[in-house]
Amino acid sequence: MSKQGYHHGNLRQALVTSALALIEEKGPTGFTLSEAAKRAGVTPAAVYRHFEGREELIAECARQGYLIFGDVLEHAWNGGKPSALAAFSATGRAYLAFARKYPGHYMAMFESGISPNRSTDLAKVAERANRVMERATAALMDHVPPDRRPPVAMVSAHIWAMSHGVVELYAREGNRAPYAPEDLLESGIGVYLRGLGLIGPDT
């Protein structure tokens, strides 16, 4: 990208785009601010008009990622239709789809060491994504007898962790999985839900 982008007021987003590409190539800690500036077609000094440093740039990548992530989960949840179980499973698959389609955002969000509480804006969009997962979980937990119903936040965290584990171990390019990542996640969720009595042994 040429320096013309800055004159049109697009430098901030050009830097985010450059950082996302570098994160995909080198990981969230494997590039410098100078590299991001060079890829955007500006001098390193110009970067500081928009970002205090590399961590703030990565945090903006994460913020934009959470915005997309929240939209993806909302779409998958679809208001709990056609059923709470189907919608819940769809959010799990959406997690994998997001990680595949937006690897730079995903790594900025979950592998950079940047806390979602770094800023109010980042915390807000991260919490929105979490609320979608918890809402999907809560609708499902309504079908579990109260005396056997685990906390919604705990179940949501378990499924989130399972999804993240499948991404980290088997959904990355070059990682060989014994089964398709979607099948691994689907079967893992199935085992979990059978334990709660939400689906039968032959489902």
pLDDT in tens, 71-126: 999 999 999 999 988 898 899 899 999 999 999 999 999 999 999 999 999 999 99
Q: What is the structure's pLDDT at 171?
A: 76
Query: In which band, very low, low, confident or very high, does the pLDDT at 67 lie, cut at 50, 70 and 90?
Result: very high
CATH code: domain of residue 6: 1.10.10.60
CA distance 35 to 54: 10
Q: Same structural domain for residues 75 and 168?
A: yes
Q: Same structural domain for residues 94 and 191?
A: yes
Q: Is residue 22 packed enough to be buried (19+ CB in 10 Å), middle (13-18) or exposed (0-12)?
A: buried
Q: What is the structure's pLDDT at 200?
A: 57
**DSSP for residue 9:** T
Q: Same structural domain for residues 44 and 105?
A: no
Q: Same structural domain for residues 99 and 117?
A: yes
Domain range for 120: 58-195
Tokens of 165: 């584990």
Q: Is residue 202 packed enough to be buried (19+ CB in 10 Å), middle (13-18) or exposed (0-12)?
A: exposed
Task: Tell me, yes or no, whether 201 lies in a domain.
Answer: no
pTM above 0.85, yes or no: yes
Q: 């901030």: which residue's tokens?
A: 12
pLDDT in tens, 142-168: 888 888 889 999 999 999 999 999 998
Q: Same structural domain for residues 66 and 32?
A: no
CATH code: domain of residue 170: 1.10.357.10
CA distance 133 to 130: 5
Q: Same structural domain for residues 137 and 37?
A: no
pLDDT in tens, 117-142: 999 999 999 999 999 999 999 998 98
Q: Which distant-in-sequence residues (6+ apart) come within 8 Å of 41 by Cβ?
A: 1, 2, 3, 5, 14
168, 160 contact by CB (below 8 A): no
Q: Same structural domain for residues 46 and 19?
A: yes
Tokens of 167: 């991404």
Asked if the model's pLDDT at residue 9 lies above 80, the reply is: no
Task: Tell me, yes or no, whether 200 lies in a domain.
Answer: no
Average pLDDT over residues 191-201: 79
Q: What is the structure's pLDDT at 173?
A: 66
Using alpha carbons, select from 201, 102, 202 the residue that is nearest to residue 94: 102
